[in-house]
A and B are shown apart, each in its own frame.
Chain A
Amino acid sequence: MTASTSPLERRYRRWLAWYPPSYRAERGDEIVAVLMEVAGDRTGDRLTPAEALDLVRGGLVTRFRARRSSASVAAWGEAVSVLACLAAVLLASRTAGYLATTWHYVRAPDWNSWAPWGTFAEMAFDSWPLSTPWLVAVPLLCLRRWRLASVAAVAAVLVDLAGVSVLGSGDPDWLRNVVGPWMLFSVLTALVLAQPRRAARGTELVGPRVLAAVFAVAVLIQGLQVARMQIRFETRVAAAGLALLGLLGARRWLVGTPPGRRVLVVLTTVAVPLAPLFLTRIVAGRSYIPLSEHPRGLMVAITLVALIALSAAVRRWELRRARPVADPTPSAG
């Protein structure tokens, strides 16, 4: 801006304050040039109400759009895609456990031990079709067949809904404590993976081979639990150890990239309230504690507070690392 700037131009620049500073730095002169050309030979140094409204609207839309398309939001999108792929693996391995339990029960109907994931063998026998499409969805993800994987994810939820309506009416306790939480988890996962673009991005970020390896290990652990007839301390330690090894192997991505940091935030957030519960189970020697005995309200509160606090901390840390943008707000006018 020069010393010969007209009063009208100074006013235009003042109204451009509605736009984000970085946007003004890049496009301010260009927009002012167009505004001045549109104004032409108009006398007077004030904006018309329509001009003012147009700049306010444009500024607000640009601010909203900048926030929505910010790197942080994009990183959260990628993190959600990755987490949905990992959740699909967990759901598929759990389904494999159900099927193995059913198979065990068919071979030895007198077997009445607690089966994996806190389900009576008879219940597993009754409800074996639940979630089976997840067993198809995960291999499809590994084979990069995104659209078919999306269809399988939606099918898993539909099969669960149909199964629960048939099986769950007689046992509301089973419905509330066993199926309910997993069903919610399944629905949330399917909501993400129903979008082939997200399924593709999540799998590519994890790596199809890594996803296949995690799936194989998860199924192996399920098989081990069924073979031992119940969830044992050593299988849990083995699962926790393998998960820790996986996290250590992916530490560069988890710490060094924006989506990785967000995945880490969510995993930590989930682990904060769940870890003491699992420890309680191990110490109490109980393989299954009904959901009604869990301090659910406290768990939700801890999870939310941890998620908000960790997300804000990561965002602040990233902003501190980023180079600050100079504010070109005009001094004159």
Chain B
Amino acid sequence: MSKPLQEPSFLILTALAAAPLHGYAVLQDVERVSGGRVRLRPGTLYTALDRLTAEGLIEVDREELVDGRHRRYYRLTGVGADVLAAEVERLRRIATAAARNLKLGGLAR
């Protein structure tokens, strides 16, 4: 069984699951998906991007120059998609179990 993903890694993979994104777009999407709870800083983002690249979960899609600024787009690899899907399934099972227990305990709202 693979190790559970850390939350920033999970959110970054989630952001890249829909389409390739550049660094700033990843930051915005992570904030949006987490409901504003997680706000990654650029240093943290690039540390995570490097680690995910080294693990083969993401890769560079393309590079662009926009308004004189360098942009590099990242995309999910096949392995990354599998890891994300496995993590989604793991979290879904936990959430289902939690909901069931709440229901059993008569605490569900």
A-side residues, CB < 8 A to B, are: 2, 27, 29-31, 33-38, 50-51, 54-59, 61-62, 65, 69
Is there a chain A Cβ closer than 8 Å to B2's Cβ?
A: no
Interface size class of B (residues with CB under 8 A): 10 to 19
Instruction: Among B22, B45, B70, find the residue whose CB has the most chain A CB atoms closer than 10 A.
Output: B70
Determine the distance from Cα of A13 to Cα of B104 in the docked complex, in whole angstroms. 56
Closest to A59 in B: B43
Is there a chain A Cβ closer than 8 Å to B54's Cβ?
A: yes
- Residue-wise, chain B 23-54 has the 8 Å CB interface mask toward A (1 for contact) of 11001000000000000011111110011001
B-side residues, CB < 8 A to A, are: 22-24, 27, 41-47, 50-51, 54, 68-72
Q: Which residues of A contact B46 (CB under 8 A)?
A: 27, 31, 58, 62
Q: What is the predominant secondary structure among interface residues of chain A facing chain B? A: helix
Identify which of A35, A37, A50, A58 contacts B47 (C-beta below 8 A): A58
Determine the distance from Cα of A30 to Cα of B47 in the docked complex, in whole angstroms. 13
Q: Is the CB of B43 within 8 A of A37?
A: no
Number of A-B pairs whose CB atoms are under 8 Å? Answer: 57
Identify which of A30, A38, A50, A57 contacts B71 (C-beta below 8 A): A30
Do A34 and B24 contact each other (CB < 8 Å), given the known contacts A50-B41, A69-B54?
A: yes
Q: Is the CB of A31 within 8 A of B69?
A: no
Q: Is the CB of A33 within 8 A of B23?
A: yes
Return B71 CB to nearest CB of chain A, in Å. 6
Q: Is the CB of B41 within 8 A of A33?
A: no
6 contacts between A and B (CB under 8 A): A27-B72, A30-B72, A31-B46, A33-B23, A34-B45, A38-B41
Return B69 CB to nearest CB of chain A, in Å. 4
Q: Is the CB of B68 within 8 A of A2?
A: yes
Determine the distance from Cα of A261 to Cα of B52 in the docked complex, in whole angstroms. 31
Identify which of A30, A51, A65 contacts B70 (C-beta below 8 A): A30
